[in-house]
Amino acid sequence: MLDLVLPLECGGCGAPSTRWCDACARQLAVRADEPHVVTPRVHQGVPVFSLGRYAGARRAAIVAVKEHGRADLIDPLGAALRGGLRQLLTWGVLGPPLTVVPAPTRRYAARRRGGDPVTRMALAATSDGRDARVVQALRMTTMVRDSVGLSGAARQRNVAGRVRLRGPVQRLTGDVVLVDDIVTTGATAAESVRVLQTSGARVFAVLALANA
């Protein structure tokens, strides 16, 4: 609905008459040395890869999807995730077939924003159907507060014990990678990895669209 009433503009830079301009597409292109390993404050136990800084067109597109319902930007963001997954396969960090697990979102937040954007991006990233499938294996309990404005330690306390496995662990076959839109302190990713590993899943990496 929102798309119909908003004037047509690039979700990255606001340029008129296009939904996603070439300049912004270039900002999201995955280069040969990307994604980069980043070191969030909360220790992860597996390497964390980010496709870029949470800035510019990347930031604008993520915000547009999450806060303004710009579903048309799921595809370009999903394509960036796909590029990142390909690199991790090429480098041997992960081996096929992959199970891609979206980081959990608080349910009411996802509802308010028109569906869980990370899952939709993951589905777009794996839509070619080869080597990877998406399993929504994690959920967050309803007690979790919005993490905006919380420090790293407070975020870690906020999510501790709040990430739960959803569905049978048998679905988590092969190499598992956790994907998220933004990694900040890494608290949610770390708790997600811990829950997956405790359940016996072979999770080897975290891949984020952006690091802040």
Q: Which residues, numbered 79-138, are part of the site for Zn ion (CB under 5 A)?
A: none
Neighbours of 148 (CB within 10 A): 7
Min. distance of Cβ 3 from Zn ion in angstroms?
A: 16
Q: Which two tokens stand for residue 189?
A: 């990713």
- Whether the CB-CB separation of 205 and 47 falls below 8 Å is answered with yes
For residues 96 and 89, what is the distance between their CA atoms, to the nearest angstrom?
7
Neighbours of 32 (CB within 10 A): 6
Q: Near Zn ion by CB under 5 A, which window of 3-11, 80-88, 172-180, 185-193?
A: 3-11
Number of chain positions touching Zn ion (CB under 5 A): 6
Residue 28 engages Zn ion in binding (rule: CB under 5 A): no
Min. distance of Cβ 27 from Zn ion in angstroms?
A: 8
Min. distance of Cβ 56 from Zn ion in angstroms?
A: 10
- Whether the CB-CB separation of 165 and 157 falls below 8 Å is answered with no
Q: Near Zn ion by CB under 5 A, which window of 12-20, 134-142, 144-152, 159-167?
A: 12-20
Residue 25 engages Zn ion in binding (rule: CB under 5 A): no
Residue 13 engages Zn ion in binding (rule: CB under 5 A): yes
Burial of residue 27, with CB atoms counted within 10 A of its CB: 0-12 exposed, 13-18 middle, 19 or more buried: middle
Of the pair 23, 153, the CB lying nearest Zn ion is at 23
Choice from 19, 21, 51, 61 touching Zn ion (CB under 5 A): 21
Return residues touching Zn ion (CB under 5 A). Answer: 10, 12-13, 15, 21, 24
